[in-house]
Amino acid sequence: MPRTYTQTLDTPAYKGTVSINTGLFINGQFVDAVKGDAIDVYNPATGKVITSVAAGSKDDVDIAVAAAKKAYKTSWGLKVPGAQRGRLLSKLADLIERDIDEFAALESLNTGRPFTVSKAFDMNSTITSLRYYAGFADKIQGKTIEASELKLAYTRHEPYGVVGQIVPWNFPLSMVSWKIGPALATGNTIVLKPSEVTPLTAQKLAAIVIEAGFPPGVLNIVNGYGPTVGQAIAEHPVIEKVAFTGSTATGRRIQEASAKSNLKAVSLELGGKSPNIIFDDADLEQAVKWAARSIFPNGGQMCSASSRILVQEGIYDAFVEHFIAAAKSFEGTAGDPFELATQHGPQGSQTQLDRVLGYLDVAKKEGGTILTGGERLGDKGYFVQPTIFAGTNDMKAVREEIFGPVAALIKFKTEEEAIEIANDSVYGLAAAVFTENNARAIRVAHALEAGSLFVNNYNWLENGMPFGGYKQSGVGRDLGEYALDTYTHVKAVHVNLGLRL
């Protein structure tokens, strides 16, 4: 019988009790893993174990897929009107909103993200995303195609059936909502693998899935490691589609597993090394504030972080001076996520801390000039100083994704040079342009090879706008109406109304 983890917190930001069931969530119930294995879950702000959760295996994935398939055939999918699916998604959003403080506290415990930010941003993003897709659930429709009076021709958008979803550790619950919202709205059933690093809010979500009234088997949550649970999902012959957010290396393995199994549909939101181009005529104060916001929050652990900041030579020195001040100011807000003044959180794990520090060593050896930061911050938890270094686009630390609070500065002369540097990357997730010249802003935005372009802002996302990448930053789109297309087949129906042979 799975156990329950409960902890009472008495902090400046949150006073209350958090509680989750630590089992796998399959067919509407919490269950033990078949092999009885467990995963320790750490608090990255302290480096200490919070609790452990059940660790699934291929056997558990098989059980979850069977439950999802049965639900799709009997109590979900095309058996349930879209309006009813929408009501349940709305109810799920309402329950998260009711328990928003507990969800935010669990997220902060597990990620080190400041509680105030978790509540205001991550939880509200989750709630609004689910409500957005709840509104689409009864609007999944095809088209009638003009043919002739002897023929009726139309299309239907039908769910795949059982889909697998694998989400990352950097924004645990909001990434779950980006995946399950469109999948459930279109009538699919789900086998979801949260990150083994940050499973706590997914465990809490499972409990309110029951309360919201979803039929058993519609949403199944199987914790576990990538090489076991993730691989089993990617290879499973009954799963018709897999959605993944994470590293490009893992995305390659998922595509390979799909090709070697049943050629399941795959959508991937992967890594980035996003450029932020700041021209001489930019509003300096605003450019600095947005640049800091684009790389330092969440420990820089954002796939779309603007980790390459290209600054035109006329404004370069002034920008550097103010940007260093912003980084040092942000460093001063590091600490306990439940302190009201905390803004700078830790890296997500010891592994990620080691990765970031390793790249900082590489940057120094390559001749990068560390302008501020560059070291571990303190000896408790997994904190890194917000770091700025000056480099060139051919350096490893500039070209590869670090996934930390590390900004590479590159000086440029002309618009053409900036575009060439920005596009000289295997990634293409996001990019930004800062300029007061509207014609230049649009011209450069159109020339940049990235899925999301921001003009005089950064990472200001909308539920209605698609999010995804070019090149090795992925295929397919999350968010917006475009995400619905990644969870449906299009069926063409040809009806003979009178042609006789």
Active site members: 269, 303
**Which two structure tokens, joined as six digits, stand for 315?**
């404004």
Strands, E, within 223-307: which ranges? 241-245, 265-269, 275-278
User: Cβ(172)–Cβ(113) under 8 Å?
Assistant: no
185, 72, 187, 170: which is closest to 133 by C-alpha?
185
User: Cβ(323)–Cβ(292) under 8 Å?
Assistant: yes
- Separate counts of helices (H) and strands (E) for the chain: 16, 24
Strands, E, within 118-271: which ranges? 144-148, 151-159, 162-166, 189-193, 219-221, 241-245, 265-269
191, 179, 182: which is closest to 240 by C-alpha?
191
CA distances from 451 to 353, 415, 466, 479 (A): 28, 20, 8, 12
CA pair distance 239, 145, nearest whole angstrom: 31
CA pair distance 487, 462, nearest whole angstrom: 20
| List of residues 6+ apart from 131 with CB closer than 8 A | 89, 90, 93
Strands, E, within 58-185: which ranges? 144-148, 151-159, 162-166
CA pair distance 60, 223, nearest whole angstrom: 10
Maximum C-alpha span of the chain? 83
